[in-house]
Amino acid sequence: MKSFSRRRFIGDTSMAAIAGTFIFAASNQSTKEMKNVFVHHVYFWLKEKDSAADLSQLVAGLKKLSAVTTIKQFHIGKAASTSREVIDGSYSVSWLVLFDNKADQDSYQTDPIHLKFVEECASLWKKVVVYDSVDM
Amino acid sequence: MKSFSRRRFIGDTSMAAIAGTFIFAASNQSTKEMKNVFVHHVYFWLKEKDSAADLSQLVAGLKKLSAVTTIKQFHIGKAASTSREVIDGSYSVSWLVLFDNKADQDSYQTDPIHLKFVEECASLWKKVVVYDSVDM
């Protein structure tokens, strides 16, 4: 009985190891896809597009804004050097924020840190475009 | 001497533990920010914006396109239900792709999988807008 149990244990362990390999392979593939995410992407056009001071102030404001706790990940960017007819590279700053869901994004909109950011920085930009996306 | 060494070891270990706590806290904060990333965000407007079949075909095409090996992460999205003056929610599909760098994005543009995607799906959309962003 002891021997049978041990064999069964070894068998189960091997099966688990094989199953584990498949699960690992599958997750390696699937982790490339972001799921269950609310993508909030904002593009800012500065009033004074050549002002390094205004750019710094906006970036500093966004860094403070990133403290909002519902933000899972963020990226502060500038236009890349790519250039094709379909590319809009005219903006000054890209602000990409990932939330877990719409409720977290809604709460960010009214977070005191966000309201303070708008109060302190809104005079810097002449145009903002926002794209909010959720899983298909 | 032995006793001194042991005390010093214990002291060093405690210092390392304290330092580790700070490092952990700091990295927890900083991992929210995506760095060293090339953000490629594409918005598609379908010609037939109410065609479920065309939407499915485009999404299926993007899923195949995600096999390009230089893609680190991607998200296929639709417009969220948010609505404010600055929000553009008129697009049909959002295709967000993260690359490690511009070279990887350049290589994606000429990858046979990408060329095949364009060949198979370009007839579906009437407008595409692309924003490419890199670290500030």
Per-residue pLDDT for chain B (136 aa), expressed as one digit of tens each? 444 455 554 455 555 554 544 444 444 556 899 999 999 999 999 999 999 999 999 999 999 999 999 999 999 999 999 999 999 999 999 999 999 999 999 999 999 999 999 999 999 999 999 999 999 9
User: Within chain B, how many helices (H) and strands (E) appear?
Assistant: 4, 4
Q: Which amino acid is at B41?
A: H
Which residue from A66, A91, A131 is facing B94, i.e. has the nearest CB? Answer: A131
What pTM does this model have?
0.80
Cα–Cα dist A9/A15, whole Å: 10
| Subunit contact A78:B133, Cβ cutoff 8 A | yes
pLDDT tens by residue, A9-51: 445 555 555 454 444 444 444 689 999 999 999 999 999 999 9
From the list B88, B92, B102, B94, the residue with the least C-alpha distance to B39 is B102
Size of interface A-B (CB pairs under 8 A): 137
Residue A73: its chain B contacts at CB < 8 A? 32-34
| Subunit contact A34:B75, Cβ cutoff 8 A | yes
A119 band by pLDDT with thresholds 50, 70 and 90: very high
DSSP 3-state of B9? helix
Q: Please give the DSSP secondary-structure letter assigned to residue B66.
A: T
Return phi, psi of residue A50, to 5°. -100, 10
| Subunit contact B74:A133, Cβ cutoff 8 A | no
Return phi, psi of residue A27, to 5°. -70, -30
Cα–Cα dist A115/B21, whole Å: 32
- Substitution target from A27, A131, A135 for chain B, most B beta carbons within 10 A: A131
